[in-house]
Amino acid sequence: MTEQQNPSTFNPGKGAGSAVGVAILGYGTVGSQVLRLMLENADEFAHRAGGPLEVRGVAVSNVEKHNGTLADEKGLLTNDARSLISRDDVDLVVEVIGGIDYPRELVLAALRSGKSVVTANKALVAAHSAELAEAADAAGVDLYFEAAVAAAIPVVGPLRRSLAGDRITKVAGIVNGTTNFILDAMDSTGANYEDVFAEADRLGYVEADPSADVEGHDAASKAAILASLAFHTRVTADDVYCEGITKISAADIDVAKSAGYTIKLLAICERLVDDSGNESVSARVHPTLVPRSHPLASVNKSFNAIFVEAEAAGRLMFYGNGAGGNPTASAVLGDIVGASRNKVFGGRAPGESTYANLPIADFGDVPTRYHIDMNVEDRVGVLAELTQIFAAHGISLRTVRQEEQEQSARLLVITHTAREADLSATVAALAETDAVLNVNSVIRLAGE
């Protein structure tokens, strides 16, 4: 029996003009804006969805905390999320709680009871995409998560639909506003990491637990989602190499400037092809030297930008607000309209596509380039000695720049592309060489 014939999964639609009942889980920065905009623009949303969108309730952990809010005034607050989800007049559940374990339970309960789900929860989607997709498929309902990657920037939809007829080779960009704000401020002011972090905290860019942002985990979750969509392969956050920005110094920024680069925390997802034609997928997050001539170099403050490279379409760039209540609510509301239309008129949005099932590349096999900053002995023959170390590991040098210091020399090296494992082994060998007094920093390059 086909899916269209199976009454448990086929969605014929409620009919034009039918109301769509919506449950909102979470009433923080995003949830409050979603409710406000839904109520303020109710007529427009009814026309776009094909029927009125009626909010049945807003689930929170502590009702008293939200006394006097819009949700309270409308009599929508409840602390019983499970009962709200199970109501017969709820067709669509919007999850904007955050976290993984508790939201996972609620989202799975919603999907399994035949409710479509819209979520902004990147950590949840990155960690449990398979389980969520299977539950949605079994029930014949939608799972939307545009807001999980870059808030208002539409990139999930284009990857799922607009570029479905193309072959994507690479997705890369800035997907975390907090780290971009910090690195941009360090670049423009010359301040050190600690001072700029404190300013970002004062301005409200930093979460109560900043580690997800500054250690790269937030970007890694988004990279997993982007790689899964782009390469039709299931990629989880555990498959993503992750390195944050906490070790980036003002000296690193200064050296990058002098060489014509800026430093950005990039998520890079690539389709790799080896010499035998075998394909694999690489997804990684790390500080990256980007040429100042590259469009990503000009992405400032807390903005995000994502590049997509495809065989037929070429290079595409998506740019805009990647965080905040209103931008994230915009993406959530777009998904609400799409899921509601399917409830009214029937059918489903594109679901998970993992037909390619490509292997995840070993990070050591990923091709990359390094910028290495080191202090070395200031004597004849040092450069030749170090060049031999690079050559022994099969590493070709693109540029070498030396700066004189009082009792040593500073050597700044940019390599040609090589395997990550070979470059890493080279750095380890340099650090153990008597001629090298200190390896100050090692930063990868991209965008050339």
Q: What rounded mean pLDDT belongs to the chain?
A: 94
Q: What is the mean pLDDT of the segment spanning 379-394?
A: 95
pLDDT for residue 10 = 63
pLDDT digits (tens, 9 = 90+) for 79-119: 999 999 999 999 999 999 999 999 999 999 999 999 999 99
- pLDDT at residue 177 tops 80: yes
29 is in an annotated binding site: yes
For tokens 């509301």, name the residue.
333
pLDDT digits (tens, 9 = 90+) for 269-322: 999 999 999 999 999 999 999 999 999 999 999 999 999 999 999 999 999 988
For tokens 């309730």, name the residue.
57
pLDDT for residue 224 = 98
Burial category of 326 from C-beta neighbours within 10 Å (exposed 0-12, middle 13-18, buried 19 and up): middle
Please state, in angstroms and rounded to a whole number, the distance separating the CA atoms of residues 302 and 206. 11
The token pair at 411 is 């050597």
pLDDT for residue 9 = 58
Indicate the residue type of 317: M
55 is in an annotated binding site: no
pLDDT for residue 205 = 84
- pLDDT at residue 3 tops 70: no
pLDDT digits (tens, 9 = 90+) for 62-80: 999 999 999 999 999 999 9
Please state, in angstroms and rounded to a whole number, the distance separating the CA atoms of residues 353 and 178. 31
pTM: 0.93
Of 334, 320, 301, which is closest to residue 150 (Cα–Cα)? 320
27 is in an annotated binding site: yes
For tokens 């997709």, name the residue.
133
pLDDT for residue 133 = 96
> Is 257 among the residues known to form the active site?
no
Taking a C-beta distance cutoff of 8 angstroms, is the pair 189, 120 a contact? no
- pLDDT at residue 1 tops 60: no
The token pair at 20 is 């769509």
pLDDT for residue 308 = 97
Q: How many helices (H) and strands (E) does the chain have?
A: 16, 17
Q: What is the mean pLDDT of the segment spanning 25-54?
A: 97
pLDDT for residue 6 = 42
pLDDT for residue 83 = 98
Share of residues in the chain with pLDDT > 70 (%): 98
pLDDT for residue 323 = 81
If DSSP codes are grouped into helix, strand and coil, which group holds residue 176?
A: coil
Taking a C-beta distance cutoff of 8 angstroms, is the pair 250, 186 a contact? yes
188 is in an annotated binding site: no
**All domains in the chain, ordered by first residue:** 20-151+325-345 (3.40.50.720), 156-321 (3.30.360.10), 366-445 (3.30.70.260)
32 is in an annotated binding site: yes
221 is in an annotated binding site: no
247 is in an annotated binding site: no
| Vertex 88: Cα angle to 144 and 81 (nearest 5) | 65
28 is in an annotated binding site: yes
**Residue 274 CA: distances (Å) to CA of 271, 308, 419:** 10, 21, 12
426 is in an annotated binding site: no
Catalytic residue among 115, 170, 222, 343: 222
pLDDT for residue 5 = 37
- pLDDT at residue 4 tops 60: no
pLDDT digits (tens, 9 = 90+) for 410-421: 999 999 999 999
